[in-house]
């Protein structure tokens, strides 16, 4: 049985998630798990999909970065799949670990992907340091703090913290933080 897994990092990437699901179903995946979460977050759908796999199944993803966050994590996932006697197929690479060549290519490509990510993060850190030195980097603007008056007004009108968060497009935790700051006199 072909078992698919689709993931995007954010809720805004709905089209990307739908494209992955469509591609997985088009190649014959009978079951497809999906989730929208960062690769470093807990991924319940991934765990459920792997748990569902049985001997002889093939676990399918569209791209390697949708599956693993590092070479080490990839190795752990492959070890788990191999222990279950489940193959892995990565569509964008034409990779299939049910073959010896596929296993070799997966390890090489996983190493290259991790190297590429580390280089990107290093360039990002260098760019931020340069922008800070030039006085151009301000960081992300705090969105919840800018909405603190609206938070207090809506809470004062009897809205729940969850409703306030949804209406203002901020996290529920941010609502609590704004209220805690206002109770201490700092705003």
Report, as residue numbers or ranges, the catalytic residues. 9
Residues 115, 86: contact at Cβ < 8 Å? no
Longest dimension (CA), the chain: 65
Strand partners, 3: 31, 59
Buried b (16+ CB within 10 A) or exposed e, 9-21: eeeeeeebbeebb
Residue 45 CB partners (closer than 8 Å, separation 6+): 5, 7, 33, 34, 35
């Amino acid at each position: 049985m072909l078992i698919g897994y689709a993931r995007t990092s954010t809720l805004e990437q709905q089209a990307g998630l739908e494209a992955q699901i469509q591609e997985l179903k088009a190649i014959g995946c009978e079951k497809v798990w999906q989730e929208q979460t960062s690769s470093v977050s807990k991924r319940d759908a991934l765990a459920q999909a792997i748990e569902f796999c049985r001997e002889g199944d093939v676990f399918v993803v569209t791209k390697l970065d949708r599956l693993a966050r590092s070479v080490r994590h990839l190795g752990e996932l492959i070890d788990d799949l191999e222990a279950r006697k489940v193959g892995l197929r990565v569509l964008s690479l034409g990779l299939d670990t049910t073959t010896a060549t596929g296993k070799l290519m997966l390890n090489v490509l996983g190493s290259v992907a991790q190297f590429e990510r580390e280089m990107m993060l290093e360039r990002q850190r260098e760019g931020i340091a340069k922008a800070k030195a030039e006085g151009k980097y301000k960081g992300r603007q705090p969105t919840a703090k800018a909405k603190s008056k609206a938070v207090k007004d809506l809470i004062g009108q009897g809205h729940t913290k969850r409703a306030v968060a949804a209406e203002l497009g901020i996290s529920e935790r941010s609502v609590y933080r704004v209220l805690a700051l206002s109770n201490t006199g700092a705003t």
